[in-house]
Amino acid sequence: MNSLKRIVKSRIANIALGIGMILAGIPGTRIGYQMLFGKESPQLNSQQRIEEIISEERAKLEIKPEVNIEANFKTYSRSAKFGENQYCIELAPAATEATLRHEVYHIRANHCDRLSKLPHSLGTAYYFLWAEPRAAYYEWVGSHSKDEKRKQ
């Protein structure tokens, strides 16, 4: 009987681990999202084009004028808050227009604000299970959910 209990516990643990891995893998990575949906987007090739897209996305997402968004090329793509109404978008050398829209959406949906206030482990879960899938969805379809259309 002890042997049976040990086997059952082991199986349950393996199933739980498998479910956890699946759930953690659902959001994937930026590369995974792009490969999965295969959406093509022109590569960014100038600071002027970056500013044009930010301007377009500001209007589309109704981002208030007092929100300052700076963007430049770095080693990988990300967005971050560095002060009150101050945000920075860093773009990988091979970043596309869709990548920039994705990062602007993170700012509009307050993902950067929330992430900066969470402890690391909770922040990681929030990023992969909530913020990243929503920004990826926006990247793919170019719209955002009504519940996140709050004014900045």
Question: pLDDT digit string (tens) for 36-71?
Answer: 444 578 889 899 999 999 999 999 999 999 999 999
Question: pLDDT digit string (tens) for 95-110?
Answer: 889 899 999 999 999 9
Residue owning tokens 């700076």: 70
- What pTM does this model have? 0.72
State residue 91 phi and psi, 5-degree precision. -120, 135
State residue 123's pLDDT score: 87
Contact 131, 115 (CB under 8 A): yes
Q: Tokens representing 34?
A: 């792009």
